[in-house]
């Protein structure tokens, strides 16, 4: 099964953030995903939107991933979790918009999820 265009753009945005924000070598994966995006007319129009959303999620998760819950406090961790949930809703909507526009993949539907 091929990856949907929404998933390709989402994955590309995450790998691009990883390459910009860490020392992990993601060149091969980044290049492969970019080639896929460039092969579909107008698909690159969606990249920045997913970069923005995934960047915000990355920022909110960063200290939590580093194990700094004790420094942040439970209230801040909870606030971030809610913000991440809301941003993931936007992320899913963007992926669904891409998949609908290009008639590819499946539409992701959240059940009993507060971000819907």
pLDDT, tens digit (0-9, with 9 covering 90-100), for 13-72: 999 999 999 999 999 999 999 999 999 999 999 999 999 999 999 999 988 888 888 888
pTM, two decimal places: 0.89
Q: Which domain holds residue 23?
A: 5-101
Q: How many of the other CB atoms lie within 10 Å of CB of 91? A: 23
Do the domain assignments include residue 66? Answer: yes
Q: Is 26 helix (H, G, I), strand (E, B) or coil?
A: coil
Tell me: pLDDT of 76 over 70: yes
Residue 115 lies in a domain: no
Assess if residue 106 is contained within a domain. no
- Of 69 and 113, the structure prediction assigns the larger pLDDT to 69
Is residue 35 a part of any domain in this protein?
yes
What is residue 69's predicted lDDT score, i.e. its pLDDT? Answer: 81
Provide the domain count of the chain. Answer: 1
Confirm whether 109 is domain-assigned: no
pLDDT at 116: 53
């Amino acid at each position: 099964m091929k990856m949907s265009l929404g998933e390709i753009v989402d994955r590309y945005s995450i790998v691009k953030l990883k390459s910009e924000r860490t020392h992990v070598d993601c060149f091969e994966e980044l290049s492969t995903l970019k080639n896929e995006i460039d092969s579909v007319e107008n698909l690159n129009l969606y990249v920045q939107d997913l970069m923005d959303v995934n960047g915000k999620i990355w920022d909110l998760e960063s200290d939590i991933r580093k194990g700094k819950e004790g420094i942040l406090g439970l209230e801040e961790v909870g606030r971030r979790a809610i913000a991440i949930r809301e941003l993931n809703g936007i992320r899913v909507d963007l992926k669904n918009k891409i998949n609908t526009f290009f008639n590819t993949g499946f539409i992701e539907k959240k059940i009993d999820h507060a971000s819907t």
